[in-house]
């Protein structure tokens, strides 16, 4: 794409410190400038473009996958109508307080957003555009099942501003798709991707899954081979979490079927990382890989602890100070809104403690690590006070590396990242206690035991 | 000869094994004597500590006064003194027995006499108590009342046909038992006109009254306002309240000779009103203490550490409160390289230790690490000195040691004859020396071994139960110090010595023990970020090694759709899991690992 075609997009303006127009598109910015392939992790441009996210949860699927515990159900005309009406009510509720936010990304997740037809989608997009300040050129992602990607839908999406598609491929091995209860055929993602490209979509992502029962090193290899051949801009690769209440999760928890051994899962992750990197995809976050500059802005909003608005059942939001989670069930969420009541099931106001814990835990998932400078001064100070010593101890013990400006989990430890993070949290908690009781202990009066009678 | 003024009093206890129905029988007696209204009756009234109910044993003594109108129309004052039911509390049992003139020996119709019952019966006989024999649970299908009666005859000399058959559960036979108690158990001796002498058979701390001493008045009388002194310490107090023991405390004006009741006199800790001590009139000259008082001695020692350091103060306060009520518990501060600040505690035995730990956990919500229990060694130094060591980390360097003496016990095991072989092998494996073997009846034997105490504090009792399918029972008494070839075995994690895991052990067992312990620790210590070497060493020499591989997976791979709160809660859980581990050098060690020593199979 040439510079002449530049439309609008977001970027930092060093002068004003505010968002300003840069250029269109997936990642040309990155390819041409600030991001270079050698650099790990989300490039600075991507980080700066991830300012605030808007998430819409579409709670419908054609069929439920065996591992999925997200809020979803099968589609009916009545349910869809109720959902759309309630969503409009929620948008009306949430728009006024979000008036000051300019959204740099929109994400339709689910469920299967592609399961609702063009008309329903257009209606939502229209209402969103009218209610919120969506930055021109914002990243606009829609999760799609390869099975449901069709020309008419693609045209509708494109017309409404969708510029990024995330396709749930999971596996390219037919038997594995059956295990996961995916409804698409193994060859379907290739066709969907080609179709999307033909309709002008430049930012495509594939979801892959590993570490599920029955997967072998050879089958994972087959999946990676097939996925790489499609050359999407972005990959998300998730290791299966067996959730209670899902068919596959329950089977694993009951011992009816077994996950691959942790060693095999770790091996699968290493193979994943190595193969994707060899093909030019950097791992910028534990589970996310992309060509330089193609980071998902929307996900970065989460990891950088920036604000986002969640709409729809089970959606979560965060305004910088308060987090909320909507009712999970469509029925409850809709009923609350219909009654003029708040749709939240939980609301949590951040404390200094929770904010610092989040910043630490989220930052360390990024390949660029935890950068205190990413956060406002008060949080930066809290991070230093609460975690400074623990981070230093983690560096000393080989759990982290640092260049002074950031703390990163070294690559060989990425697959045990939670252990590193929990270790830091525990070390910080211990340090707090120790500093409180520093010199108060040894001289307490105590009864001495009576001398034992001979 | 008993004073006629005491002729209506009967003081007795029930001698029985755990589960043989002592508490149920007590309930029936309370019912039949209308001591409690039906609303007050809750099953097993006397065991009022949750822990006692759960474990089915009595830890503290209790007593309750009943009024009984006998068949001949006379009204009697019955004082039932409940006794602790475990080998750790033999001394307390002997003091409770000393407060009685008689004992009801209760034997389960299907189980027969157990070691504990026998041992308490022996104690009762030593005290000269009159014994009434009763077979309980005769209503159960497995009951063999005639065999049990023969066994009682064999042991006590009470003719089998005189032994009562009853069911405490249904109440059948219990009225007859009451009649037999007033007929066969003598009224108390003692001089109502002499200066006060009363035996303390238990004392407990009450947060409003201070120490409540449970006493049997032997001579004289005691009333509120009297001056008293404790003969073992000479400390003087003024009595503020006396009373009888009903379901609760029931104040009365005077407690007289022969009676059982309580005395409150502003005593601050049970250590000043010790079980076995004599309460005497403050002004009386030349008062002789009642016989049998001795200081209780800790046999088993262990370090108690808070799991998280901020609970240190709570632990200190809790121990301070427990000793108000438990004169047998001793404690002093200690520090461990591995565990930080904690307390060295001395216990009567393993059960006592377990109870104290459990009470600290339940009543004070403390999360504790207990170090390997140890006995007290006498270490003779090359220099000629002697040091006592109850903590492996205080063992002097091997070069300074001339000899080590370890405590021994004389253990009696009562068992169906078919398990005798297993039990003798177990005792031999534990360095036991055979002492005697005799048969209570054809199929039940009593075997005595002299054993190092260290060999039975860990898992001997469990092993005994397991090799005898639960039938064998154990009783033991302290039997002096003897020289032994014992050594200190250290455990190293990635090269760092973990003092809390050190043990003192006989040299012959050290290698095998080291191997088993390393294997057990490998099971109990979770995989860590980096590989961990677990080593056992004697002196500087490594005798066993295991390797714990590095953890391979611990990552949340999905972002839960922006549900950061959920992720943070997961982190919080993992963090707490890690905080519940002790950081030792580079290794995180969970609480359970410190109990590994107790779990080693051998």
Are A57 and B561 inside 8 Å of each other by CB? yes
Chains A, B: CB pairs < 8 Å: 159
Query: How many CA atoms lie less than 13 Å away from A184 in the CB half-sphere?
Result: 22
CB–CB of B296/B328 below 8 Å? yes
Lowest mean pLDDT among A185-189, A284-288, B302-306: A185-189
Rg (C-alpha) for chain B, rounded Å, is 27
Residues in A closer than 8 angstroms to B271, CB to CB, are 450
Summarize pLDDT for A74-123 with one digit per residue, the tens.
788 889 999 999 999 999 999 999 999 999 999 999 888 998 999 999 99
- Calculate the average pLDDT of chain A: 86
- Calculate the average pLDDT of chain B: 87
B454 pLDDT above the threshold of 50: yes
Q: Is residue A312 part of a domain?
A: no
Are A441 and B574 inside 8 Å of each other by CB? no
Q: Is residue A328 part of a domain?
A: no
Which residue bears the tokens 């001591």?
Answer: B35
- Based on the fold, state whether residues A244 and A140 are members of the same structural domain: yes
B464 pLDDT above the threshold of 70: yes
Are A354 and B568 inside 8 Å of each other by CB? yes
The per-residue pLDDT for A326 is 97
**Cα–Cα distance between B302 and B344 in angstroms, integer?**
6
- Based on the fold, state whether residues A242 and A365 are members of the same structural domain: no
B165 pLDDT above the threshold of 80: yes
The per-residue pLDDT for B577 is 87
Does B243 or A3 have the greater pLDDT score?
B243
CB–CB of B177/B104 below 8 Å? yes
The per-residue pLDDT for A12 is 35
Confidence of residue A136 (pLDDT cuts 50, 70, 90): very high
- Give the one of A357, A416, A441 whose C-beta lies nearest to B553's C-beta: A416
Confidence of residue A387 (pLDDT cuts 50, 70, 90): very high
A300 pLDDT above the threshold of 80: yes
- Based on the fold, state whether residues A33 and A102 are members of the same structural domain: yes
- Phi, psi for residue A200 in degrees, rounded to 5: 90, 5
The per-residue pLDDT for B111 is 85
Q: Nearest-CA neighbor of B197 among B129, B256, B244?
A: B256
The per-residue pLDDT for B229 is 95
**Cα–Cα distance between B277 and B266 in angstroms, integer?**
17
Does A444 or B555 have the greater pLDDT score?
B555
A432 pLDDT above the threshold of 90: no
Residues in A closer than 8 angstroms to B576, CB to CB, are 426
Q: Is residue A341 part of a domain?
A: no
**Cα–Cα distance between B372 and A246 in angstroms, integer?**
44
The per-residue pLDDT for B85 is 60
Residues in B closer than 8 angstroms to A452, CB to CB, are 295, 297-298, 376
Are B557 and A420 inside 8 Å of each other by CB? no
The per-residue pLDDT for B525 is 93
List of residues 6+ apart from B456 with CB closer than 8 A: B409, B411, B430, B476
Question: Chain A window 85-114: which residues touch B at a Cβ cutoff of 8 Å?
Answer: 109
- B interface test, pick of A170, A212, A302, A434 with most B CB neighbours within 10 Å: A302
Beta bridge partners of A239: A210
Q: What is the DSSP code (8-state) at residue B193? A: T
**Cα–Cα distance between B181 and B71 in angstroms, integer?**
12
Residues in B closer than 8 angstroms to A450, CB to CB, are 271, 295, 330
| Torsion angle of C-alpha atoms B340, B346, B348, B349, degrees rounded to 10 | 30
Q: At which of A303, A324, A344 does a domain end?
A: A303
Residues in A closer than 8 angstroms to B376, CB to CB, are 452
Q: Is residue A327 part of a domain?
A: no
Residues in A closer than 8 angstroms to B559, CB to CB, are 287, 299, 302
Q: Label residues A179-189 b or e (16+ Cβ within 10 Å = b).
A: bbebbbebebb
Summarize pLDDT for A328-369 with one digit per residue, the tens.
999 999 999 999 999 999 999 999 999 999 999 999 999 999
Average pLDDT estimate for A204-230 = 96
- B interface test, pick of A348, A390, A423 with most B CB neighbours within 10 Å: A423
Cis peptide before A111 (omega within 30 of 0): yes
B40 pLDDT above the threshold of 90: no
- Based on the fold, state whether residues A286 and A380 are members of the same structural domain: no
The per-residue pLDDT for A265 is 95
**Cα–Cα distance between B189 and B3 in angstroms, integer?**
7
Query: How many CA atoms lie less than 13 Å away from B366 in the CB half-sphere?
Result: 26
Q: Label residues B270-285 b or e (16+ Cβ within 10 Å = b).
A: bbbbbbbbbbbbbeee
The per-residue pLDDT for B88 is 67
The per-residue pLDDT for A416 is 94
Q: Minimal Cα–Cα distance from A10 to chain B, Å? A: 22
- Local structure of B534: helix, strand or coil: strand
Question: Chain B window 565-584: which residues touch A at a Cβ cutoff of 8 Å?
Answer: 565, 567-568, 570-572, 574-579, 583
Asked if B480 is an interface residue toward chain A (Cβ–Cβ < 8 A), one would say no
Confidence of residue A20 (pLDDT cuts 50, 70, 90): very low
CB atoms < 10 A from the CB of A337, how many? 23
CB atoms < 10 A from the CB of A208, how many? 22
CB–CB of B79/B10 below 8 Å? yes
CB atoms < 10 A from the CB of B569, how many? 11
Lowest mean pLDDT among A199-208, A222-231, A372-381, B298-307: B298-307
What percentage of chain A has pLDDT greater than the value 90? 72
Q: Nearest-CA neighbor of A392 among A377, A374, A404, A380?
A: A404
What is the residue-wise DSSP string for A180-230? Answer: TT--S-TTHHHHHHHHHHHTT--EEEEEEEES-TT--HHHHHHHHHHHHHT
Q: Nearest-CA neighbor of B176 among B134, B124, B113, B121?
A: B134
Task: Say what the ipTM of the complex is.
Answer: 0.82
**Cα–Cα distance between A281 and A295 in angstroms, integer?**
10
Q: Residue B565 to residues A250, A325, A350, B455, B562: CA-CA distances in angstroms? A: 24, 9, 10, 52, 8
**Cα–Cα distance between A124 and A117 in angstroms, integer?**
11
CATH number of the domain that residue A101 is part of:
3.80.30.20
The per-residue pLDDT for B167 is 93
- Based on the fold, state whether residues A279 and A425 are members of the same structural domain: no
Residues in A closer than 8 angstroms to B563, CB to CB, are 316, 325
CB–CB of B199/B231 below 8 Å? no
B296 pLDDT above the threshold of 80: no
Q: Nearest-CA neighbor of B57 among B22, B26, B90?
A: B22
CB–CB of B37/B30 below 8 Å? no
Summarize pLDDT for B259-289 with one digit per residue, the tens.
999 999 999 888 888 889 999 999 888 899 9
The per-residue pLDDT for A454 is 30
CB atoms < 10 A from the CB of B252, how many? 16
Helix axes A352-363, A377-396, angle to 10 degrees: 50
Query: How many CA atoms lie less than 13 Å away from B597 in the CB half-sphere?
Result: 23
Confidence of residue A187 (pLDDT cuts 50, 70, 90): confident
A32 pLDDT above the threshold of 60: no
- Give the one of A266, A308, A357 whose C-beta lies nearest to B568's C-beta: A357
B17 pLDDT above the threshold of 80: no
Q: Minimal Cα–Cα distance from A312 to chain B, Å? A: 12
Alpha helices in B326-390 (DSSP H): 350-364
Q: Label residues A372-404 b or e (16+ Cβ within 10 Å = b).
A: bebbeeebbebbeebbebbbebbeeeebbeeee
Average pLDDT estimate for B122-133 = 87
- Based on the fold, state whether residues A129 and A278 are members of the same structural domain: yes
**Cα–Cα distance between A3 and A24 in angstroms, integer?**
9
Confidence of residue B130 (pLDDT cuts 50, 70, 90): very high
**Cα–Cα distance between B422 and B385 in angstroms, integer?**
41
Does B562 or A277 have the greater pLDDT score?
A277
- Based on the fold, state whether residues A264 and A390 are members of the same structural domain: no
What percentage of chain B has pLDDT greater than the value 90? 50
Measured between its terminal Cα atoms, the distance across chain B in Å is 57
- Based on the fold, state whether residues A144 and A252 are members of the same structural domain: yes
CB–CB of A277/A283 below 8 Å? yes
Q: Minimal Cα–Cα distance from A3 to chain B, Å? A: 35
Summarize pLDDT for B169-222 with one digit per residue, the tens.
899 999 999 999 999 999 999 999 999 999 999 888 888 888 999 999 999 999
CB–CB of A152/A186 below 8 Å? no
**Cα–Cα distance between A199 and A162 in angstroms, integer?**
11
- Based on the fold, state whether residues A62 and A205 are members of the same structural domain: yes
Average pLDDT estimate for A314-338 = 96
Q: Label residues B178-193 b or e (16+ Cβ within 10 Å = b).
A: bebbbebbbbbebebe
Are B309 and A57 inside 8 Å of each other by CB? no
Residues in A closer than 8 angstroms to B310, CB to CB, are 433, 436-437
- Local structure of B222: helix, strand or coil: strand
Does B10 or A431 have the greater pLDDT score?
B10
Question: Chain A window 247-286: which residues touch B at a Cβ cutoff of 8 Å?
Answer: 262-263, 265-266, 286
Confidence of residue A23 (pLDDT cuts 50, 70, 90): very low
Asked if B547 is an interface residue toward chain A (Cβ–Cβ < 8 A), one would say no
Tally of domains in chain A: 2
The per-residue pLDDT for A435 is 62
Query: Structure tokens of A12?
Result: 């930092």
Which domain, by its residues, includes A33? Answer: 7-303
Q: Is residue A197 part of a domain?
A: yes
Query: Structure tokens of A163?
Result: 């510029």
Asked if A328 is an interface residue toward chain B (Cβ–Cβ < 8 A), one would say no
B298 pLDDT above the threshold of 90: no
Q: Is residue A451 part of a domain?
A: no
What's the sign of the alpha-carbon dihedral A236, A240, A246, A247?
Answer: positive
Asked if A338 is an interface residue toward chain B (Cβ–Cβ < 8 A), one would say no
What is the residue-wise DSSP string for A364-421? Answer: TTBTT-B-GGGS-HHHHHHHHHHHHHHHHHHHHTTS-EE-SS-EE--GGGGGGHHHHH
CB–CB of B409/B456 below 8 Å? yes
Are B575 and A448 inside 8 Å of each other by CB? no
User: Nearest-CA residue of chain A relative to B298?
Assistant: A452
Summarize pLDDT for B75-100 with one digit per residue, the tens.
999 999 977 666 567 778 888 889 99
Q: Residue A353 to residues A360, A364, B402: CA-CA distances in angstroms? A: 11, 17, 57
Q: Is residue A172 part of a domain?
A: yes
Confidence of residue B119 (pLDDT cuts 50, 70, 90): confident
The per-residue pLDDT for B54 is 53
- Based on the fold, state whether residues A298 and A374 are members of the same structural domain: no
Query: Structure tokens of B126?
Result: 């030593």
Asked if A347 is an interface residue toward chain B (Cβ–Cβ < 8 A), one would say no
Does A204 or A429 have the greater pLDDT score?
A204
CB–CB of A104/A135 below 8 Å? yes
- A interface test, pick of B232, B293, B565 with most A CB neighbours within 10 Å: B565
Q: At which of A274, A303, A332 does a domain end?
A: A303
Query: Structure tokens of B193?
Result: 């006109």
CB–CB of B350/B342 below 8 Å? no
Asked if B383 is an interface residue toward chain A (Cβ–Cβ < 8 A), one would say no
Average pLDDT estimate for B392-416 = 91
Q: Minimal Cα–Cα distance from B415 to chain A, Å? A: 32
The per-residue pLDDT for A8 is 33
The per-residue pLDDT for B458 is 75
A127, burial (CB in 10 Å: exposed 0-12, middle 13-18, buried 19+):
middle
Residues in B closer than 8 angstroms to A398, CB to CB, are 529-530
Question: Chain B window 262-301: which residues touch A at a Cβ cutoff of 8 Å?
Answer: 271, 294-295, 297-298
Residues in A closer than 8 angstroms to B579, CB to CB, are 426, 429-430
- Based on the fold, state whether residues A44 and A134 are members of the same structural domain: yes
Q: Residue A256 to residues A174, A245, A247, A253, B65: CA-CA distances in angstroms? A: 21, 14, 11, 8, 61
Q: At which of A303, A331, A366 does a domain end?
A: A303
CB atoms < 10 A from the CB of A202, how many? 17
The per-residue pLDDT for A107 is 97
CB atoms < 10 A from the CB of A61, how many? 22
- Give the one of A299, A418, A453 whose C-beta lies nearest to B294's C-beta: A453
Which residue bears the tokens 């957003």?
Answer: A113
Summarize pLDDT for B364-384 with one digit per residue, the tens.
999 898 888 899 999 999 999
Summarize pLDDT for B505-555 with one digit per residue, the tens.
999 889 998 999 999 999 999 999 899 999 999 988 999 999 999 999 988
The per-residue pLDDT for B591 is 80
CATH number of the domain that residue A427 is part of:
1.10.10
Q: Is residue A322 part of a domain?
A: no
Are B332 and A70 inside 8 Å of each other by CB? no
Are A419 and B583 inside 8 Å of each other by CB? no
Which residue bears the tokens 């007859």?
Answer: B176
The per-residue pLDDT for B42 is 57
- Based on the fold, state whether residues A71 and A170 are members of the same structural domain: yes
The per-residue pLDDT for A206 is 97
Measured at the CA of A77, the angle between CA A76 and CA A80, to 5 degrees, comes to 85
């Amino acid at each position: 794409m040439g510079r002449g075609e530049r439309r609008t997009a977001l970027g930092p303006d060093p002068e004003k410190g505010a968002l300003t127009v840069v250029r269109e598109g997936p990642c040309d910015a990155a390819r041409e400038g600030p991001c270079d392939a050698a650099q790990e992790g989300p490039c600075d441009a991507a980080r700066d473009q991830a300012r605030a996210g808007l998430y819409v949860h579409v709670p419908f699927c054609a069929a439920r996958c065996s591992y999925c515990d997200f809020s979803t159900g099968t589609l009916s005309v009545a349910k869809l109508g109720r959902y759309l009406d309630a969503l409009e009510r929620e948008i009306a509720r949430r728009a006024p307080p979000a008036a000051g936010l300019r959204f740099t990304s929109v994400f339709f997740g689910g469920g299967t957003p592609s399961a609702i037809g063009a008309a329903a989608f257009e209606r939502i997009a229209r209402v969103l555009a009218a209610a919120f300040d969506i930055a021109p050129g914002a990243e606009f992602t829609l999760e799609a099942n390869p099975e449901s990607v069709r020309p008419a839908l693609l045209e509708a999406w494109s017309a409404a501003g969708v510029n990024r598609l995330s396709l749930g491929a999971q596996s390219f091995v037919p038997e594995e798709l059956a295990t996961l209860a995916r409804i698409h055929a193994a060859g379907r993602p290739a066709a969907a991707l080609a179709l999307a490209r033909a309709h002008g979509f430049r930012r495509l992502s594939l979801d892959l899954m590993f570490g599920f029962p029955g997967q072998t090193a050879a089958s994972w290899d087959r999946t990676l081979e097939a996925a790489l051949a499609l050359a999407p801009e972005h990959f998300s690769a998730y290791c299966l979490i067996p959730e209670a209440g899902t068919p596959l999760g329950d089977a694993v928890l009951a011992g009816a079927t077994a996950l691959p051994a942790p060693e095999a899962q770790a091996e699968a992750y290493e193979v994943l990382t190595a193969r994707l990197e060899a093909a030019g995809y950097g791992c910028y976050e534990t589970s996310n890989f992309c060509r330089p500059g193609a980071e998902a802005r929307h996900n970065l909003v989460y990891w950088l602890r920036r604000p986002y608005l969640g709409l729809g059942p089970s959606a979560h939001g965060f305004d910088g100070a308060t987090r909320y989670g909507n009712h999970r069930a469509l029925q409850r969420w809709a009923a609350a809104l219909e009654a003029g009541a708040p749709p939240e099931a939980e609301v949590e106001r951040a404390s200094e403690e929770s904010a610092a814990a989040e910043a630490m835990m989220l930052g360390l998932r990024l390949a660029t690590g935890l950068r205190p400078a990413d956060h406002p001064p008060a949080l930066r100070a809290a991070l230093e006070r609460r975690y400074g010593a623990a981070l230093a101890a983690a560096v000393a013990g080989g759990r982290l590396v640092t260049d002074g400006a950031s703390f990163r989990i070294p690559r060989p430890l990425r697959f045990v990242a939670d252990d590193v993070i929990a270790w830091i949290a525990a070390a910080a908690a211990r340090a707090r206690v120790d500093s409180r009781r520093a010199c108060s202990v040894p001289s307490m009066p105590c009864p001495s035991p009576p001398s034992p009678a001979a | 000869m008993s004073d006629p003024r005491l002729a209506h009093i009967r003081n007795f206890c029930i001698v029985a094994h755990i589960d043989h129905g002592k508490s149920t029988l007590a309930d029936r007696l309370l019912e039949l004597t209308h001591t409690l209204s039906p609303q007050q009756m809750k099953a097993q009234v006397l065991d009022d500590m949750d822990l006692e109910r759960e474990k089915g044993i009595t830890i503290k003594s209790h007593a309750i006064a009943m009024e009984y109108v006998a068949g001949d129309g006379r009204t009697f004052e019955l004082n039932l003194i409940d006794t602790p039911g475990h080998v750790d509390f033999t001394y307390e049992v002997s003091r409770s027995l000393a407060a009685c003139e008689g004992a009801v020996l209760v034997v389960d119709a299907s189980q027969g006499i157990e070691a504990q019952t026998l041992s308490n019966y022996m104690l009762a006989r030593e005290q000269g108590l009159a014994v009434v024999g009763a077979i309980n649970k005769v209503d159960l299908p497995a009951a063999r009342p005639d065999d049990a009666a023969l066994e009682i005859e064999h042991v006590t000399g009470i003719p089998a046909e005189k032994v009562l058959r009853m069911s405490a559960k249904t109440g059948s036979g219990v009225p007859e038992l009451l009649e037999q108690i007033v007929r066969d158990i003598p009224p108390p001796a003692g001089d109502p006109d002499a200066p006060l002498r009363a035996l303390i058979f238990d004392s407990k701390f009450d947060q409003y009254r201070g120490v409540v001493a449970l006493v049997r008045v032997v001579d004289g009388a005691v009333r509120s306002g009297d001056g008293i002194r404790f003969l073992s310490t000479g400390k003087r107090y003024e009595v503020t309240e006396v009373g009888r023991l009903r379901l609760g405390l029931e104040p009365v004006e005077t407690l007289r000779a022969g009676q059982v009741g309580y005395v409150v006199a502003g005593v601050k800790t049970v250590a000043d009103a010790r079980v076995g001590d004599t309460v005497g009139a403050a002004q009386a000259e030349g008062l002789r203490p009642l016989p049998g008082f001795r200081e209780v001695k800790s046999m088993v020692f262990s370090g108690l550490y808070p799991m998280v350091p901020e609970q240190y103060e709570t632990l200190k306060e809790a121990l301070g409160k427990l000793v108000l009520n438990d004169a047998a518990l001793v404690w002093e501060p200690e520090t461990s390289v591995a565990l930080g600040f904690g307390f060295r505690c001395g216990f009567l035995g393993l059960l006592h230790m377990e109870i104290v730990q459990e009470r600290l956990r339940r009543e004070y919500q403390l999360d504790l690490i207990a170090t390997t229990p140890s006995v007290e060694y006498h270490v003779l130094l090359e220099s000629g000195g002697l040091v006592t060591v109850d903590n492996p980390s205080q063992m002097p360097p091997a070069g300074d040691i001339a000899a080590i003496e370890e405590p021994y016990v004389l253990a009696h095991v009562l068992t169906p004859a078919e398990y005798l072989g297993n039990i003798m092998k177990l005792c031999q494996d534990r360095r036991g020396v055979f002492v005697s073997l005799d048969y209570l009846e054809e199929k039940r034997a009593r075997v005595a071994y002299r054993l190092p105490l260290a060999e039975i504090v860990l898992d001997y009792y469990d092993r005994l139960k397991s090799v005898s399918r639960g039938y064998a029972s154990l009783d033991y008494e302290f039997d002096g110090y003897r020289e032994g070839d014992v050594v200190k075995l250290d455990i190293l994690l990635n090269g760092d010595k973990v003092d809390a895991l050190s043990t003192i052990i006989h040299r012959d067992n050290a290698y095998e023990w080291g191997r088993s312990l390393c294997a057990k620790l490998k099971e109990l210590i979770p995989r860590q970020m980096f590989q961990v070497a677990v080593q056992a060493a004697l002196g500087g020499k490594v005798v066993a090694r295991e390797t714990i591989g590095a953890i391979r997976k611990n990552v949340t791979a999905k972002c839960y759709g922006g549900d950061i709160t959920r992720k943070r809660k997961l982190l919080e859980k993992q963090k707490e899991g890690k905080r519940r581990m002790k950081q030792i050098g580079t290794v995180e060690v969970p609480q359970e690992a410190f109990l590994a020593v107790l779990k080693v199979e051998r």
